[in-house]
Structure formats: C-alpha cells, structure tokens
C-alpha cells in the first residue's frame, strides 16, 4: 500500500462533521457504495494526480447540503424522492466533502484538494483509476434533524 493519504476513521469523520452540523452527528461503519450509484468527489494531489474518491448516496448529499443552508427536512426528503437535488444542495455538499479532505491528510501524506463532485452515473471510472492496491472506508452518517446518509472513501 502506497499510503499517499490517511484512511479516515469514524472518529475523524465525526469530528469534522460535528464542526459543521453541531455536536450530535453520529458516524459508524457503513456499507460500501458503488461508484455508479453515488456522487463522486475526486481528490487530487498538487500534481493533479487522483489520490482518493468519496462516493456518497443521494441521501447524504441532500441532507448534508440542506442542513448547511437550513433547508427544511421536508425539502430534502422531496429532493431524495424525486432524485432531483437542487443546485444549492449540491454546492453545499461540495463544501462538506471539501472539509472532509482533512480526514485524508496528515503531516506526512500527500496534500490533497477536491477537484470536483460528479453526479451519479458520470466519471465512474475515477474510482477504478485508483488501481487495485487501494483501501476502502465506508461510513453511515446520521445528520441531526434530517436523516441517514452513507459515504465511501477509496484511497491510494
């Protein structure tokens, strides 16, 4: 394993999300999400090399994006049911995964930056392009006042 980045833990993810959403976020081990089924955040090195991805289900994007803008839970639920997230939800989720990049770095790891978040069904090859020698960390996240979502990191 090349260890270009740090494998996040439930504790490291919780710490960052607590700072965003309040101290009542619950994070536990979760189920892996396939790239084709989620929103893909692509993290790259300073040399623009893909280092890690974070795939999120629609619930995670809707709930975390909604809490950031104080969009009522009903609005997030409607977006999930219709599978049509607002631009604001998606932009706020971008900020969430941008902050989660901190869980992937240490003083000795590569410096990472969020390149882009791709919608479901697009750029699914990003995860596969990381190769076979990867680690995966998946988490169930309970967004306070909204509901559960899931994220899966794939790391080189």
Question: What DSSP assignment string belongs to 84-104?
Answer: ---HHHHHHHHHHHHHHGGGG
Segments in the chain forming alpha helices (H): 10-21, 58-69, 73-82, 87-100, 125-128
Output the pTM of the full model. Answer: 0.94
Summarised one tens digit per residue, pLDDT across range 96-136 is: 999 999 999 999 999 999 999 999 999 999 999 999 899 99
Query: What is the pLDDT at residue 1?
Result: 41
Every domain of the chain and the residues it spans:
10-155
What is the rounded average pLDDT for all residues in the chain?
95
Give yes or no for a contact between 151 and 54, defined as CB atoms under 8 angstroms apart. Answer: yes
User: For domain 10-155, which architecture applies?
Assistant: 3-Layer(aba) Sandwich (3.40)
* CA distance from start to end of the chain: 7
């Amino acid at each position: 394993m090349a260890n270009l980045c740090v494998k996040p833990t439930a504790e490291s993810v919780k710490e960052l999300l607590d700072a965003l959403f309040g101290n009542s976020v619950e994070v536990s081990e979760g189920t892996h999400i396939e790239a084709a089924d989620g929103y893909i955040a692509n993290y790259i090195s300073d040399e623009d090399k893909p280092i890690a991805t974070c795939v999120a289900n629609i619930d995670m994007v809707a709930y975390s994006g909604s809490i950031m803008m104080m969009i009522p839970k009903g609005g997030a639920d409607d977006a999930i049911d219709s599978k049509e997230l607002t631009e604001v939800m998606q932009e706020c989720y971008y900020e969430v995964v941008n902050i989660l990049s901190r869980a992937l770095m240490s003083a000795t790891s590569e410096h990472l930056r969020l390149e882009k978040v791709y919608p479901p069904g697009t750029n699914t090859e990003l995860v596969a392009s990381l190769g076979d020698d990867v680690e995966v960390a998946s988490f169930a996240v309970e967004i306070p006042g909204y509901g559960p979502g899931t994220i899966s990191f794939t790391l080189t």
